[in-house]
A and B are shown apart, each in its own frame.
Chain A
Amino acid sequence: MIGNDIVDLALAQKESNWKRKGFLGKIFTRNEQLLILNAKNPDVMVWNLWSRKEAAYKIYNRQTNIRGYFPLQLECFDLEILDGIIFGKVIVKDFVYYTKTAVSTEFINTIAVERLQDFASITTLENRKNIKKNNEIPSYFEKNIISTKPVSISHHGRFEQIVTL
């Protein structure tokens, strides 16, 4: 299982005003709001946490087939920086997902997996060839192979990322 999310920071700044009254409270738990307000760069922390929630939601949606809008129930924990990459966990109801987030000046990108060892098997696909969606959930079909691989696609502004396991 895999989920990803990419945020084009320039577009996010244009599209969303997270300082709007009520905005943070509908999306972020109290602890997450503290992380944002105490961050050196609150703008980046907003999209950093948001991209984790989105990536984790994609796995949750694939596993349970439940669609919904419940960002407060996807809570980010245990943020840890190793070699410039931010690792963490997102907890959704009874599920725990592991996240890996890269932050650049242009974009923020999170990949979420079910098991830590899955990080080693992630591959990026260059195009949508052989990808089919079922119930809006994409999978990769290899020629002559019956089993499929889970795929996650994220597109925002100037950036697109397609990942598989």
Chain B
Amino acid sequence: MDKKETIEKLKNIVKPYIKNQEAFENLSESTDFITDLQINSANLVDIILDIEEEFDIIIDNQSMERMLDIKSALEIIETKVSEK
């Protein structure tokens, strides 16, 4: 799976939870889930569970700890998918 495809999948996962449409439209690797997309922190768990389902991976607590922006999410997905 290439990065572009992963970003598209991630965008679809994140979309229902965003509170800032403009930041979503300008999404880049540095986009922060909480400060930019203004996602409620309780919904970050939903995003993590959705990622686990979509990519069939398990995100351990250590990875979850740094799941704050698109860049880290992509890195975590890539690592976990390659470990499968």
Contacts and interface: CB of A to CB of B under 8 A. Distances in A.
Contact of A72 (B41, B49, B61): B61
B7 to A, nearest CB: 20
Interface in A36-74: 50, 54, 67-72
B42 A26 contact: no
Main secondary structure of the interface of B (DSSP, over half): helix
A65 to B, nearest CB: 14
Contacts of B67: 69
Query: What is the size category of the interface that chain B forms with chain A?
Result: 10 to 19
Interface of A: 12, 15-16, 20-23, 26-27, 50, 54, 67-72, 136, 156
Interface of B: 35, 40-46, 48-49, 52, 61, 64-68
Contacts of B68: 67-69
B48 A26 contact: yes
Nearest to A54: B41
Given A15-B42, A50-B42, A70 B65 contact: yes
Given A26-B48, A72-B61, 8 more contacts: A16-B40, A16-B42, A20-B46, A54-B41, A69-B41, A69-B66, A70-B61, A156-B40
B66 A68 contact: yes
